């Protein structure tokens, strides 16, 4: 079984300040973890993913996330927020090696990021 | 590649009418997913296919919903009869699927359905 919890439904930061979006997961197998971004009235776009290689994953637009197995976390960070980062962010978990759930992912409830000028 | 294509982008219909949403996945992708997104329930997986075969439809809300994938390049999601509570944005996504869960899902732009 797999599940994901995004700890904040809304995060507000000022432009130029760091961003932290928190995600905890649960997985019966070795997980793959993803962060997707959804801008208003758009589909979801992959930001980055972890699939058992380096635990610090770098994505597009300056975002990165660190897989911490001991804490079952995969928090998303960015050193300096930009106005264009305002969007909804989804953390996603998928069990690798689970043939009964092959291809199936579980999405978090999303975190809305607001960036103030 | 044009990405995942969905049509129509917007659909407004009246309660009781049949609604058909369409999706063309990225060529070569083995998995196709249908999601529904609402403010109240967030993003929900409705059904997914592997090589045109439905694998898990446990997310389909009720018998009014049905999905088909007659070939590798086309899928439909049908609601008959439609109800106001079906109003949502419906997303189609596809992935290569060769490494199961490590593959990225590529999302279409969505169909915004309004049932009056």
In tens, the pLDDT along B29-83 reads 999 999 999 988 888 899 999 999 998 898 998 899 999 999 999 999 999 999 9
Q: A20 with A69: CB under 8 angstroms?
A: no
Angstroms from A105 CA to nearest CA on chain B: 7
Q: B94 with A96: CB under 8 angstroms?
A: no
Angstroms from B100 CA to nearest CA on chain A: 5
- Whole-number pLDDT of residue A103: 54
pLDDT interval class at A81 (50, 70, 90): very high
Q: Count CB pairs under 8 A between chains A and B.
A: 66
Tens-place pLDDT, residues A27-68: 877 788 999 999 988 889 999 999 877 889 999 999 999 999
- Whole-number pLDDT of residue A98: 53
State the DSSP string of A53-95: S-SEEE-GGG-EEEEETTTTEEEEEESS--GGG-EEEEEEEEE
Q: Give the one of B42, B91, B105 whose C-beta lies nearest to A105's C-beta.
A: B105
Contact list in A for residue B109 (CB cut-off 8 A) is 42-43
Q: Give the one of A42, A45, A103 whose C-beta lies nearest to B101's C-beta.
A: A103
Q: Which of B103, B65, B1, B60 is nearest to A96 (CA)?
A: B103
- Whole-number pLDDT of residue A28: 77
Helix (H) or strand (E) holding B12: strand B10-13
Inter-chain touch B102–A96, beta carbons under 8 Å: yes
User: B102 pLDDT exceeds 80?
Assistant: no
Contacts of B91 (CB under 8 A, 6+ apart): A43, A44, B6, B34, B35, B36, B37, B43, B107, B108, B110, B111
Contact list in A for residue B110 (CB cut-off 8 A) is 42-43
Q: Which two tokens stand for residue B55?
A: 């694998």
Residue B21 vs residue B40, higher pLDDT: B21
Contact list in B for residue A104 (CB cut-off 8 A) is 45, 48, 55-56, 101
- Whole-number pLDDT of residue A96: 66
In angstroms, the CA B75 to CA B29 distance is 13
Give ∠ CA B37-B42-B43 in degrees, rounded to 5: 55
In angstroms, the CA B35 to CA B27 distance is 20
Report the greatest alpha carbon distance in chain A: 47
Contact list in B for residue A34 (CB cut-off 8 A) is 104
- For the segment A82-105, the average pLDDT, to the nearest whole number, is 79
């Amino acid at each position: 079984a797999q599940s994901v919890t995004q700890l904040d439904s809304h995060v507000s930061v000022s432009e130029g300040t760091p961003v932290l979006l928190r995600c905890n997961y649960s997985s019966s197998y070795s997980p793959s973890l993803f962060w997707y971004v959804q801008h208003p009235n758009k589909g979801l776009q992959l930001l980055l993913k972890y699939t058992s290689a380096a635990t610090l994953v770098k994505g597009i637009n300056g975002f990165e996330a660190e897989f911490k197995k001991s804490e079952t976390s995969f928090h998303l960070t960015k050193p300096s927020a930009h106005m264009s980062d305002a969007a909804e962010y989804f953390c996603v978990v998928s069990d690798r090696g689970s043939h009964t759930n092959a291809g199936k992912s579980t999405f978090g409830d999303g975190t809305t990021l607001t960036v103030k000028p | 590649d044009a990405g995942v294509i969905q049509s129509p982008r917007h659909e407004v219909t009246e309660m009781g009418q049949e609604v058909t949403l369409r999706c063309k996945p990225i060529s070569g992708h083995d998995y196709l997913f249908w999601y529904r997104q609402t403010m109240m329930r967030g993003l929900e997986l409705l059904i997914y296919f592997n090589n045109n075969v439905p694998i898990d439809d446990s997310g389909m809300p009720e018998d009014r919903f049905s999905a088909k994938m007659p070939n590798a390049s086309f899928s439909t999601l049908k609601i008959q009869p439609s109800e106001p509570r079906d109003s949502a944005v419906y997303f189609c996504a596809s992935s290569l699927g060769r490494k199961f869960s490590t593959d990225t899902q590529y999302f279409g732009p969505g169909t915004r359905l309004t049932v009056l």
